[in-house]
Amino acid sequence: MAASGLLSRNKDIILFDSFENHVKRRPTSTALVVDDAGRAESFTWSELASLVDRTAGYLKKRLVTYTSEKTYVGYRSGNTLDDILLTLSCAKIGAVNVPLNQYAGDKMVEACWDRIDGLWIETIRESQPPWRSFIDSVSSDPPARVDPFEPALILWTSGTSGTTKGVVLSHASLKSNAAAKLAAVPQTCDDVRLTCLSLAHAYARTCDLGTWLLSGCTLALTYGFDGWNRLAPIVKPTIANVVPSIAERLLGLEATTAGLERLRVLGVGGAGLSEQAFEAWKSRGVVVTQGYGCSETAPVICSATPNDARANLVGKPVQGWQTDIRDGRLFVKGEHLMIGYFNDPEATKAKIDPDGWFDTGDLVEVDDLSQQYRILGRTDEVIVLPNGHKIFPTTIERLVNALANVEHSMLRYDDGRLQLWLDLKCESDFDLQLQIENTLQSQPHWARPRSIDQFSIPLSIDEGELTPKGTLCRSRIEKNRFRHHR
């Protein structure tokens, strides 16, 4: 059946099928709430479907001149209504969706799009006129017949281990991974899910947008911590996904101020949450479910559940994965895996062996008591000291980053000693070095830094030193900050 490439749409094969089912069964229920410059703009499933139909008709007109086998639609993704309309419209007409995070900077957006030959839609609000003003007619065409194993989406790796790559994901992998995440962390049509993470990245794309389409809950869409503070008090979410920096900042706010009164589950990914923050959320009656994955795996490999969530652990592998730990290094195989890297067969072969095993590049261990996974760090980040001791920088950095005034920290080895470099939120009168020494007392003496220094200029997303989700790009930091000293 899959080999035919033309599947009937009599059941939910791709995520767009789920969208259509909600439109038919619950047309007047609230599907989406969008943060529009501080104003909450709501859409029912029926209203959203009308906009999607019109957008699909507009895209088909624009794509008439494209004769390539695959049609790609790219745009700057800013977590607006445009993201939802273009995502669903591409699925309806069978085009490949290529969102590019506008907050990653113009250089990043241009560098990625230059590799694609497709239709560019300008979504920046300042453009005159906005692209949506061109939508002038309703498309009554039925959805295209889609092979679920064909490309649906291209996302871009965060670049933590080098040059960013285009990850090609199929309709099937997007749906199966969202279903696996939903099985681990259930939600219903009565939930309000708030997302403030970029829909141009796999975490929000699957764990927020994908689970929304499957469950039929209400999706509240905004961006960043400031966006949370604008929209959450209005919609009062019951479930949300964030990165650790946002989770920790929210702890400093009153529940009513931050719209946390109904929040019961907070997903945290992108990096590990400190044990202190985990316990603080628990004391508020909110379960923190941490997970793990990468863009190439759509992205969820592991996820805690509301029933087994524990600090410093990311849960067990979700449904659909086979796992193999080789000398501490995690390999996975299964239905959620990417098709490959865009126009880069050599890079694809380097990551996926002939038997279908994907090398995550991450070192893990399995907790004896719970059988959940613990992420130790990337294999290419491990510091091996002359005496043979191995140090995982993220273990040290996670502890230091939990300190109130630390924005980012980076552990490196140079000139025969461990160095800890800090990116501070503001100048402090406190003895930060003493705080760090006390914080790291639980670590082996060989893993503690011998010097502590501060970056004179904050780390930058625009310079490629930080990924859009705020994690370190070590290779770029080494190049920008240290290589010229040698």
- Report residue 305: phi and psi, to 5°: -115, 165
Q: Is residue 389 domain-shared with residue 365, that is, in the same domain?
A: no
Q: Which residues of 182-213 are buried (b: 16+ CB within 10 A; e: fewer)?
A: bebbebeeebbbbbbbbbbbbbbbbbbbbbbb
Residue 135 is predicted with a pLDDT of: 62
Of 331, 360, 376, which residue sits at a domain end? 376
145, 155 contact by CB (below 8 A): no
The answer to the question of residue 5 being in a domain is: no
Of 308, 342, 376, which residue sits at a domain end? 376
323, 293 contact by CB (below 8 A): no
pLDDT surpasses 80 at 12: no
Q: Where are the beta strands (DSSP E) in 164-230?
A: 166-170, 192-195, 218-221
Q: Is residue 367 domain-shared with residue 415, that is, in the same domain?
A: no
pLDDT surpasses 50 at 4: no
For residue 257, the cross-strand partners are: none
423, 472 contact by CB (below 8 A): no
Q: Is residue 214 domain-shared with residue 361, that is, in the same domain?
A: yes
388-425 pLDDT, tens digit each: 788 989 889 989 998 988 999 999 999 889 999 999 98
- Range with the poorest average pLDDT among 8-22, 322-336, 351-365, 469-483: 8-22
Range 438-447 average pLDDT: 90
pLDDT surpasses 60 at 325: yes
For residue 326, the cross-strand partners are: 329
Percent over 90 (pLDDT), the chain:
72
Q: Is residue 479 domain-shared with residue 333, that is, in the same domain?
A: no
Distance separating alpha carbons of residues 160 and 290, to the nearest angstrom = 20
Token readout for 298 is 């759509």
Q: Domain of 228: which CATH number?
A: 3.40.50.12780
Percent over 70 (pLDDT), the chain:
92
Residue type, 160: T
Range 210-225 average pLDDT: 98
Of 349, 376, 403, which residue sits at a domain end? 376
H helices within 63-170, ranges in order? 81-93, 106-113
52-107 pLDDT, tens digit each: 999 999 999 899 888 777 899 999 999 999 999 999 999 999 999 999 999 888 88
Q: Is residue 363 domain-shared with residue 411, that is, in the same domain?
A: no
Token readout for 198 is 């970029």
Provide the whole-model pTM: 0.85
Distance separating alpha carbons of residues 218 and 237, to the nearest angstrom = 9
- Categorize the per-residue pLDDT at 112 as very low, low, confident or very high, splitting at 50, 70 and 90: very high
pLDDT surpasses 60 at 384: yes
Q: Is residue 312 domain-shared with residue 423, that is, in the same domain?
A: no
pLDDT surpasses 60 at 482: yes
Q: Is residue 369 domain-shared with residue 316, that is, in the same domain?
A: yes
Domain count within the chain: 2
Domain that holds residue 150: 11-376
